[in-house]
Amino acid sequence: MAAKEDIYSKIIPRRLRPNRQNAVKHGSHLDVLLLMGFPHNRALKALVSTGGRNVQLACDWLFSHVDDPFLDDPLPREYVLYLRPSGPLQNQLSHFWQQSRLTCGKNKAHNIFPHITLCQFFMCADSKVEALCGALQSTVNQWRGRFPSPLPLELYTSSNFIGLFVEEQIAETLKKFAFDFAAEAATKADVQVEPHKKQLHVTLAYNFPSSHLASLEKLARGIEVKLSCDWLAVLFSRDVRFANHETLKVMYPYIPQNEDELELVPGDFIFTSPVEHMSTSEGWVYGTSLSTGLSGLLPENYVSRADECDTWVFHGSHSFFSALPSEKSNKESRTLDGLLSIQCLDNSKAGDSSIMNVVCQPMQVLRVNSHSQSPKRTLFVCRHGERMDVVFGKHWLSQCSDAKGRYVRSNLNMPPSLPAWGGNRDYDMDAPITVFGAIQARTVGEALLENNTTIDFVYCSPSLRCVQTAHEILKGMKREGKLRIRVEPGLFEWTKWVSGNSLPAWISPIGLAAANLSVDTTYKPHISITKLNVSESYDTYMSRSYRVTKDILADCKNKGNNILIVAHASSLEACTRQLQGLTPHNAKEFVQVVRKIPYLGLCACEEQDTGAWQLVDPPILPLTHGPNHSFSWRETLQQE
């Protein structure tokens, strides 16, 4: 304690010193921001707008909103309390969310994640938010052990609505919890909360075309409602000014050409109202940036529709069955953030005139979702690029060999050279990628780089097309030679699809490295080539894929957040489905899924706080490349 007191005595003028019991003992983020010279109302607004996570985020928010005309507006935010599922049931609901979106497109339910609404949106002043969060935690603590488990849900469908309804008697119990929270919030935070009075339910789909009902209902009936689930009480807030606005996500950067235009930064969100949308010129909309608070005109084709909840701020979640470890770690991190900021102030030797200018480290303008959590582990699975034998046919080798057996390029889409040509290479069974395949892969790598997505580990199937694709992705990310590819035979596709009675004669890691491909020659595979059997059963393939994926994740745990697997179309399904707690499709359904996955198709599977994995939107746009047939000017242009 004496050391902390010395810090304060060195950096804070006597007239500005706060009560030491409040500033030093609690080390609150607000105290630190005030010591840095920020006005009280702005510091509070910054903390509330970033979920109170740490001083750094609050500072970033303040600096990015320095020109926000509403920076000093005292208007409070709107809050809402939801029950949010976690565990196996959440995995099933997430799968329904994604499949329904892929099958039938987006409907109104997709604007918000799966949840049960416990109260209406309500206002809370910035100065009362900490007390509001305390009221929620206190209420959950009182209900811990009393919360009904399991929560009985029943599927209900109509012409434009599908949902899971809570059994009536249990629903009354949940409403009692909501009333208890409302009473606690009124006492501790002086806010008026109106508990939800309608039937409690999880909305699966609504406001969709009637032609989609059968497909959506079939998907909904696949949800196993009796799966175990830890329901979490979660608190979110939103900016009330944009409650009825459309939410858009910036896809491409835009530099304003005129004073009334808005700068666009990829990853930012834009709010625009239907009235403003209609009043602007064709191809332009008027919107307000989430990350800066500035408004202006922007080109409509630079943004895409986003979900409403993408811009909400997360203020905490609490389990009814156990105190989540994250609750404790969040408290510890907040205290640590406060102490680190105080130490930075000390190091700066700030005096009366310099407190306003003190910054612990270079601040980055806040350009991303305000309520984003600390980085989670993410598994990316990607299909290889365009392959030679598909483009030029199974006899493609005869088109690029001269009389002496040397490789000769006969089309611009054929690579200038091939690795290990002239050796005992069986290219019929292990085809390389085309020139466009390499371009596809580099394009994906460049997009990941532009999106600031880092990759810590790369694994790939032993197929040459997969190794080459992984190498080109690393080129696009400017990580070629810096990150080595781990060749894992366990990631090879379903061996039933291999023609003949033997597996391909793959180039060894040493041979691949000799061909200047960024391969880790020291890597020891989890499943050796000798363990692969020709014509394995579907169950064996799915089991193998799941096992090797789990082994890879275990190997990389605590060593890096992002793992990239480059393998086959089937790998996107085989490496992620069971990881989410879902049972495999049957073989027929599996084949139908695989047929829809294009070259360089990419999926992202994210580890949740509960330890479960869930598919999420990839950080980059999809890649579409249409067919481009071979062109002969003689045959086409010299016809009589």
- Residues designated as active site: 383-384, 568
What is the edge-to-edge ordering of all strands in the sheet holding 378-383?
485-487, 457-460, 562-567, 378-383, 602-607, 613-616
List, edge to edge, every strand of the sheet that includes 269-272. Answer: 295-299, 284-289, 269-272, 246-250, 303-305
- Calpha distance 356→354 (Å, rounded): 5
Residue at 2: amino acid letter:
A
ω into residue 114 within 30 of 0, thus cis?
Answer: no
Rounded Cα gap, residues 439 and 445, in angstroms: 10
Whether 99 contacts 239, CB under 8 Å? no
Are the CB atoms for 261 and 233 separated by under 8 Å? no
Cα separations (Å) of 629 from 57, 295, 306, 392, 537?
Answer: 52, 47, 36, 10, 36
Which string of b and e fits 311-339 if b means at least 16 CB within 10 Å? bbbbbbbbbbeeebebeeebeeebeebbe
Q: Which of 80, 108, 115 is nearest to 94 (CA)?
A: 115
Looking at residue 248, what DSSP letter applies? E
Q: Closest by alpha carbon to 469, among 596, 604, 598?
A: 598
Return d(Cα 486, Cα 472) in angstroms, integer.
15
How far apart, in whole angstroms, are the C-alpha atoms of residue 56 and residue 362? 10
User: 21: how many CB neighbours lie within 10 A of its CB?
Assistant: 8
DSSP 499: -
Lookup: tokens for 589: 């359904």
